[in-house]
């Protein structure tokens, strides 16, 4: 596959098929969840819940009759998944825990620096409290002094809990709504995994693992700067890693017609690409409502180049500056993004309210498309455990 060039259509169809967005998984729900995590590495965690949290929205578009309880059972009961830092705060397979040891060690070094003297002074007491009382949140601790932290000033208890978590002393036992409850890490992570060092012995091996994993998170990716590389190492280190991975034939280099970028995909996905190119893997015309932070959408500039769909998440914009709405989801049909809409779950009325629906230009609205949309709205309402709102303007 030297000097491989694929068309825009093939690139779109590969991404749709890779992410399982044109057909539901035929596996049992728990296995389908775990398999998708194995494929993409991690799903971004965001606590905002307007019509389901981000991770829930990602999975409902791929797993038939998905319910959030299935995810949280794997995360907080069976401990098959873990909350940790990857691109941002993410959920990933518990088996990946040892691979992030270097990240935790870097946070531990910061925790032990002069920047965190005040936090360290109370951390021992917090660990003792958790050991004696069980999982606790910042509201369960009596440290009310504040300090500058992340986005804004925070209680010392919260800052200390977060540093103990990021440096590997604590794990997230569960959540009450969006509030984390922490426990000693040995009560969250299985003993055999907790004892392991990073399986990647050298820093270069670790970098290569992270780069290949991140490319797999998106399906394929380019070597330019972009949102898909968020939370990664410097570009020069990425470039060196990509070069090594291509030389080792772990990555395939290719071009997309009309684009100047070099793109890369994991060697393991060559079979799927060949099936798309040959036409053996067809794309089903299924409606999928995409999460704002869906892995498929991680680089919105790439989505714009391939799907001619410009998307900006406008939750942090003032109302007067929003082009569309507060929490807007793209609508995928087959290998095209045909619309976007603003859903809200009204818990008091028990209804899914569709506040607005915006069609893309030049979309031919066929009867099968309309039928698929109405079915998707019903399925989405069932996922949210409310009644559906069918007020969509097709013209």
Looking at the structure, tell me whether residues 50 and 166 fall in a common domain: no
Residue 194 resides in a domain: no
Q: Calculate mean pLDDT across residues 2-25.
A: 93
* pLDDT of 86: 93
Give me the torsion for CA of 373, 311, 64, 389, rounded to 10°: -40
CB 13 within 8 A of CB 219: no
Percent of the chain with pLDDT over 70: 95
Looking at the structure, tell me whether residues 127 and 255 fall in a common domain: no
Looking at the structure, tell me whether residues 365 and 292 fall in a common domain: yes
* pLDDT of 210: 97
Q: Over the Cα atoms of the chain, what is R_g?
A: 22
Looking at the structure, tell me whether residues 91 and 210 fall in a common domain: yes
* pLDDT of 75: 97
CB 90 within 8 A of CB 71: no
The residue among 232, 252, 278 that closes a domain is 278
Q: Calculate mean pLDDT across residues 52-62.
A: 97
Closest by CA to 88, choosing from 292, 234, 228, is 228
Q: Calculate mean pLDDT across residues 311-333.
A: 93
d(CA 38, CA 200): 18
Percent of the chain with pLDDT over 90: 79
Classify residue 256 by burial, with Cβ atoms within 10 Å: 0-12, 13-18, 19+. buried
Strand locations in 106-241, DSSP E?
146-147, 154-155, 170-176, 179-184, 221-222
Residue 106 resides in a domain: no
Residue 103 resides in a domain: no
Long-range CB pairs of 209-214, under 8 A, 24+ apart, other chains included: 209/99, 210/241, 211/238, 211/241, 211/242, 211/245, 212/245, 212/250, 212/251, 212/266, 213/41, 214/41, 214/87
Q: Calculate mean pLDDT across residues 82-96.
A: 95
Look at residue 144 and tell me whether its pLDDT is greater than 70.
no
The residue among 246, 278, 310 that closes a domain is 278
Looking at the structure, tell me whether residues 85 and 230 fall in a common domain: yes
Assigned token pair, 333: 């049909």
Look at residue 393 and tell me whether its pLDDT is greater than 80.
no
Looking at the structure, tell me whether residues 18 and 54 fall in a common domain: yes
Q: How confident is the model at residue 379 (pLDDT cuts 50, 70, 90)?
A: very high
How far is residue 4 CA from its own chain's centroid?
Answer: 29
* pLDDT of 322: 92
Residue-wise pLDDT for 197-224, tens only, equals: 999 999 999 999 999 999 999 999 999 9
* pLDDT of 90: 96
Looking at the structure, tell me whether residues 316 and 334 fall in a common domain: yes
Look at residue 116 and tell me whether its pLDDT is greater than 90.
no
Q: Calculate mean pLDDT across residues 222-239.
A: 93
- The mean-pLDDT minimum among 1-15, 51-65, 237-251 falls in 1-15
* pLDDT of 11: 97
Look at residue 392 and tell me whether its pLDDT is greater than 90.
no
Q: How confident is the model at residue 125 (pLDDT cuts 50, 70, 90)?
A: confident
Looking at the structure, tell me whether residues 132 and 203 fall in a common domain: no
Looking at the structure, tell me whether residues 29 and 91 fall in a common domain: yes
* pLDDT of 150: 54
* pLDDT of 174: 95
Residue 34 resides in a domain: yes
Look at residue 390 and tell me whether its pLDDT is greater than 90.
no
Residue 394 resides in a domain: no
Q: Work out how many domains the chain is built from and give that number.
A: 3
Closest by CA to 372, choosing from 327, 329, 339, 347, is 339
Q: Where are the alpha helices (DSSP H) in 61-189?
A: 68-72, 101-111, 117-133, 156-166
Look at residue 266 and tell me whether its pLDDT is greater than 60.
yes
Residue-wise pLDDT for 145-170, tens only, equals: 655 555 555 677 888 898 899 999 99
Residue 212, C-beta contacts closer than 8 angstroms, at least 6 positions apart: 245, 250, 251, 266
Looking at the structure, tell me whether residues 91 and 209 fall in a common domain: yes
The residue among 189, 221, 244 that closes a domain is 189
d(CA 103, CA 362): 47
Closest by CA to 294, choosing from 52, 85, 82, 35, is 52
Q: How confident is the model at residue 294 (pLDDT cuts 50, 70, 90)?
A: very high
* Dihedral angle sign, alpha carbons of residues 55, 64, 93, 204: negative
State which of 5-19, 123-137, 155-169 shows the largest mean pLDDT: 5-19
Residue-wise pLDDT for 160-198, tens only, equals: 898 899 999 999 999 988 889 999 999 999 999 999 999
Which has more confidence, 125 or 247? 247
Which has more confidence, 349 or 77? 77
Classify residue 271 by burial, with Cβ atoms within 10 Å: 0-12, 13-18, 19+. exposed
Expressed as residue numbers, the domain containing 136 is 112-189
**Mean pLDDT computed over every residue of the chain:** 92
- The mean-pLDDT minimum among 108-122, 209-223, 250-264 falls in 108-122
């Amino acid at each position: 596959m030297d000097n491989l060039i694929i068309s825009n259509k093939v690139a779109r169809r590969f991404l749709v098929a890779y992410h399982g967005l044109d057909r539901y998984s035929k596996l049992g729900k728990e296995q389908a969840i775990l398999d998708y995590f194995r494929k993409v590495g991690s799903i971004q965690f965001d606590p905002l819940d307007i019509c389901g949290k981000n991770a829930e929205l990602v999975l409902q578009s791929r797993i038939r009759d998905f319910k959030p309880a299935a995810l949280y059972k794997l995360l907080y009961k069976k401990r098959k998944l873990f909350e940790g830092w990857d691109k941002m705060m993410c959920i990933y397979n518990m088996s990946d825990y040892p691979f992030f040891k270097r990240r935790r060690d870097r946070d531990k070094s910061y925790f032990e620096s002069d920047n965190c003297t005040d936090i360290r002074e109370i951390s021992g007491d917090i660990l003792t409290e958790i050991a004696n009382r069980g999982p606790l949140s910042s509201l369960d601790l009596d440290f009310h002094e504040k300090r500058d932290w992340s986005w804004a000033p925070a209680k010392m208890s919260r800052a200390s809990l977060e540093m103990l978590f990021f440096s590997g002393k604590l794990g997230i036992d569960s959540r009450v709504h969006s509030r984390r409850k922490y426990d000693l890490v040995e009560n969250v992570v299985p003993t055999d995994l907790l004892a392991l060092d990073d399986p990647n012995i050298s820093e270069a091996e670790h970098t290569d693992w992270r780069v290949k994993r991140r490319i797999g998170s998106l399906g394929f990716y380019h070597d330019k700067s972009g949102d898909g590389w968020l939370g990664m190492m410097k570009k020069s280190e990425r470039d060196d890693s990509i070069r090594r991975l291509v030389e080792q034939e772990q990555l395939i280099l290719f071009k997309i017609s009309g684009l100047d970028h070099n793109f890369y995909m994991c060697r393991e996905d060559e079979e799927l690409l060949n099936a798309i190119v040959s036409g053996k893997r067809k794309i089903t015309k299924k409606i999928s409502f995409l999460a704002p932070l869906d892995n498929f959408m991680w680089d919105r500039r790439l989505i714009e180049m391939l799907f001619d769909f410009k998307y900006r998440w406008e939750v942090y914009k003032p109302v007067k500056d929003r082009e569309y709405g507060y929490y807007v989801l793209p609508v995928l049909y087959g290998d095209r993004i045909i619309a976007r809409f603003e859903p809200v779950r009204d818990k008091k009325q028990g209804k899914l309210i569709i506040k607005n629906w915006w069609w893309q230009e030049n979309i031919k609205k066929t009867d099968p498309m309309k039928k698929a949309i109405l079915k998707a709205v019903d399925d989405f309402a069932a996922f949210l455990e409310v009644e559906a709102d069918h007020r969509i303007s097709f013209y």
